């Protein structure tokens, strides 16, 4: 919760500083625009006064002479057009000034709204071991850096764990396939062993018969030899 509050506090602090810079720039721009508008306003009023004087003079001359030179009419027309143009520019400048005032008011309200975070930081300094707000911000940045390092380490550990799990699954799959193959070979060998054991029993029986036959023949041969020896004697 403390880290989250410090994070939000730092964000609001940055926004406040940015808004302060923007406000200062807008105020400077506003002052320049106001000075330019004031200059234009004075020029317009000067031109209006000159035009009014000229019109009065022209009307007076017209009344006196009953006619106005064409050149004077053209100049008066140009002066009227210039006056209309300047009045249009003045209206535009007034609208821009109103827009700037509204924007300035909004920025002031926003700065006033975020000033609570400045007060909060000052209160934090008062009740903590920090000496100033900058030390609080530095401590906060250290916490953020440590948090990022922890998250990075956790991410690396997670990736390593996932890789190890993937390798373990792959190794397990390979070993299961090998075990299945060995089991198939074991079944084949067991069948061959059973068949060999059956063959051994069969050949043991044949061998026993052969031994019995051989023994009988040997006894018969012994009897024949004995009989032959007796006959010879």
**What are the tens digits of pLDDT across the range 47-64?**
667 767 766 776 666 565
List Cβ neighbours of 47 (8 Å cut-off, separation of 6 or more). 79, 82, 83, 86
The whole-angstrom separation of Cα 38 and Cα 30 is 12
Choice between 106 and 217, residue whose per-residue pLDDT is larger = 217
pLDDT at residue 44 greater than cutoff 70:
no
User: Under a CB-based contact definition with an 8 Å cutoff, are residues 133 and 122 in contact?
Assistant: yes
User: Under a CB-based contact definition with an 8 Å cutoff, are residues 9 and 120 in contact?
Assistant: yes
| The pLDDT value given to residue 227 | 92
pLDDT at residue 150 greater than cutoff 80:
yes
User: Under a CB-based contact definition with an 8 Å cutoff, are residues 6 and 143 in contact?
Assistant: yes
pLDDT at residue 224 greater than cutoff 90:
yes
Whole-model pTM?
A: 0.33
- Tell me the percentage of the chain whose pLDDT exceeds 90: 16
User: What is the Cα 163 distance to its own chain's centre?
Assistant: 23
Average of per-residue pLDDT across 138-159: 87
The whole-angstrom separation of Cα 138 and Cα 90 is 50
The whole-angstrom separation of Cα 233 and Cα 31 is 162
């Amino acid at each position: 919760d403390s880290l989250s509050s410090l994070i939000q506090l730092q964000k609001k602090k940055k926004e406040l500083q940015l808004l302060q810079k923007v406000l200062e720039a807008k105020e400077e721009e506003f002052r320049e625009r106001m000075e330019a508008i004031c200059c234009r306003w004075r020029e317009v009023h000067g031109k209006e006064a000159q035009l009014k004087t000229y019109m009065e003079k022209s009307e007076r001359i017209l009344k006196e002479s009953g006619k106005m030179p064409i050149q004077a009419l053209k100049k008066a027309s140009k002066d009227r057009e210039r006056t209309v143009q300047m009045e249009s520019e003045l209206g535009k400048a007034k609208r821009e000034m109103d827009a700037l005032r509204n924007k300035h008011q909004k920025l002031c309200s926003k700065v006033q709204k975020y000033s609570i975070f400045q007060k909060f930081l000052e209160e934090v300094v008062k009740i903590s071991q920090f000496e100033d707000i900058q030390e609080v911000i530095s401590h906060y940045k250290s916490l953020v850096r440590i948090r990022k390092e922890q998250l990075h380490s956790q991410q690396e550990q997670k990736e390593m764990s996932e890789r190890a799990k993937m390798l373990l699954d792959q190794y397990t799959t390979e070993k299961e396939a090998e075990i299945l193959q060995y089991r198939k070979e074991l079944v084949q060998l067991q069948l061959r062993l059973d068949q060999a054991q059956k063959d051994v029993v069969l050949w043991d029986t044949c061998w026993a018969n052969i031994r019995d036959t051989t023994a009988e023949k040997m006894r018969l041969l012994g009897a024949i030899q004995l009989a032959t020896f007796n006959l010879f004697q």
